A = this chain, B = another copy of it.
Amino acid sequence: MKQQAIFRALADPTRRAILKRLQGGALSAGDIGAAFDITPASLSHHFAVLKQADLVRTERRGQYIVYSLNSTLMEDIARMVLDLFPPHSPKGGKR
């Protein structure tokens, strides 16, 4: 798990917005881009960063390339973040 790639990917607001946009399900690059005032080329760059961090997965579907969240990473990421802070209630439990 490339911690640095993940933190770096999350540092940009456009990329976080892309992730949010994908919460509803997979979308084509174009459909994602429709929400942003940015060129397709710039979008593509952000996708590359997200992909390198393995935060999104791609699948070509005919003419389109469809992006989806890699939500299996979620717990890892949460752990990564929590790991930066001292334990609250050391074992068993959240809450």
Residues of A within 8 A of B (CB): 4, 7-8, 10-11, 13, 16, 19-20, 23, 69, 71, 73-74, 77-78, 81-86, 88, 94-95
The one of B8, B78, B84, B85 that contacts A11, using a Cβ cutoff of 8 Å:
B8
Interface contacts beyond A7-B7, A19-B85: sample of 8 additional A-B pairs, CB < 8 Å, sorted by A: A4-B13, A7-B11, A10-B81, A11-B11, A77-B81, A78-B81, A81-B81, A94-B94
Greatest chain B CB density within 10 A among A4, A69, A73, A78 is at A78
Contact, CB under 8 Å: B84 / A10: yes
Chain copies in complex: 2
Q: Which 8 A-B pairs have the closest CB atoms?
A: A11-B11, A74-B85, A19-B84, A23-B86, A7-B11, A71-B85, A81-B81, A8-B11
Contact, CB under 8 Å: A82 / B74: yes
